[in-house]
Structure 1
């Protein structure tokens, strides 16, 4: 089976631990547990989670080799066109031991950067016919997380102002698209002028350099961490919310807790979303006409090139592998 796998860890050169090629199918594919199904993958999108896995975050050496990937759209053995929900187990999960902690595909179970993936039957949802394979494969991590950050964790309402830290990544692009379509005033920060212009073309009301004054906002979406935290705390209104879904630049040096408690700012964490929320965001995209922004597509055999583009930080939108 053709797949992209972690075979060694390298914090500084993650692509050196990547192997792309044919390999025996993982045991879960050969003999799926009761209540599981297999999906022939048509498209699978990349996420920074894949690079973290290659760097040794969230995996142990004894788990290698591990098939990468959390997101996929494909066809089940009985011919259904589906989108895969990447969260296995936890309070919302089915098909595994109820006491099994929540995990993502490619952490405990083989991931989606392969010709076929096995998942609990609970984890597949119908693919809306309005979305292509490539578009549908972009949704389960970036667009689901953005949806949860905006509307559940952030509680954003039409007409409110939302600051998104860091233009260009899949999560930030998804947030701008979904928020603008829902009537939110989206403000984006970004170091690159070209990326800021593209964010405006996607519906952002304003796009500014990192750290620039933006006025008070109701909600901040921050997946950057140390490099943007102070700006996030300064920008949110008293009583507003900061939603955190990642720390790509590391933990903040200071938490700014004086401002947080004095201005009664809520800091909320968000990780992915539930199966029901994935169904909601798929319906949102189908009904509004908003489509995931795709930076580039590659065949699965060129997964190394695709991951290299993500590692370089040159992408704007999602990078997708087609099978």
Structure 2
């Protein structure tokens, strides 16, 4: 089968470590299903893997991709939940949690095999491309907003770094849920796009927010951390899912304890949350924002766009 895979580790030029070519077809195994991939989507996780973060030389070649939607063996349309080992289904109770492409081959291929319990029905209202965008970035944003921060209609949220997959999802989902969303970006075009997607305010990074917010969606790290800590209300929550600009140089602990802030790390979400997210999208006008679509053979071009940070929303790969 055709697949896009990490052929080597390249910390300084990750896209150059990607190859697209033939790989063995998935092997049938008990309690797992082989899914014909109709669409997959890219995440920064793919770039980190190519840099060698979480992926070792002795694991190569490794097919990349954590998110997909496609056709199950019984002919049904499904969404793939990319977390393996969270509850033992298909792997045993003692296996630690991993994402597809960390221990098991991922979804940037014509076929992917996953524990059968990881397959969720794809709502007919969603296209395969839209459904393939839900599994990592959108699921993480959903968990950050509604599980971790426990936000309710009428409350407020600051989304750092508008344009990325998680940030875009948080803007769209937050606006649809009746939150007052403030977004930041260095790019004027991305600030305008954030407003078009439902943000009430769009600011340059570090700019004073109109009013302190109930929660912050933080995926940028070093470049925005101090602003996040200073923008949240006393007793508020900072939900952290990444640090694309590097780790924060100072934790601002004095402000954290004095304002009684909650700082909570978030990695992905559960199958139940993915099912709830898919249902939310199906029953509303909310759809994942798709920046661009590439053929599987052109996966390197999609990853290059992701690496440049030029996208607004998700980049989809179609086998």
Relative to the length of structure 2, the TM-score reads 0.99
Q: Which residue of 2 aligns with 1:137?
A: 132
Does the alignment pair 1:232 with 2:252? no
How do residues 114-263 of structure 1 correspond to structure 2 at under 5 angstroms? 114-214=109-209, 215-263=211-259
Q: 1:196 touches 1:207 (CA, 8 Å); kept in 2?
A: yes
Q: How many positions carry a matched residue from both structures?
A: 318
Q: 2:88 touches 2:95 (CA, 8 Å); kept in 1?
A: no
The 4+ residue runs of structure 1 with deviation greater than 2 A are none
Deviation at 1:287, TM superposition (A): 0.6
Instruction: Output the aligned Cα RMSD.
Output: 0.7
Deviation at 1:200, TM superposition (A): 0.3
Q: Which residue of 2 aligns with 1:265?
A: 261
How do residues 1-323 of structure 1 correspond to structure 2 at under 5 angstroms? 1-25=1-25, 29-30=26-27, 32-90=28-86, 92-214=87-209, 215-323=211-319
Deviation at 1:94, TM superposition (A): 1.2
Deviation at 1:93, TM superposition (A): 4.5
Q: 2:88 touches 2:94 (CA, 8 Å); kept in 1?
A: no
| Structure-2 separation of matches of 1:81 and 1:302 | 25
| Structure-2 separation of matches of 1:76 and 1:286 | 20
| Structure-1 separation of matches of 2:119 and 2:24 | 24
Relative to the length of structure 1, the TM-score reads 0.97
Q: What 5-or-longer segments of structure 2 have no aligned partner?
A: none
Query: Which secondary structure does the structure 1 equivalent of 2:257 belong to?
Result: helix
Deviation at 1:33, TM superposition (A): 2.6
Deviations 1:185-220 (A, max 9, x none): 010000001100010001000000000000210000
Q: 1:87 touches 1:93 (CA, 8 Å); kept in 2?
A: no
| Structure-2 separation of matches of 1:52 and 1:93 | 26
| Structure-2 separation of matches of 1:47 and 1:181 | 23
Q: What 5-or-longer segments of structure 1 have no aligned partner?
A: none
Q: 1:211 touches 1:228 (CA, 8 Å); kept in 2?
A: yes
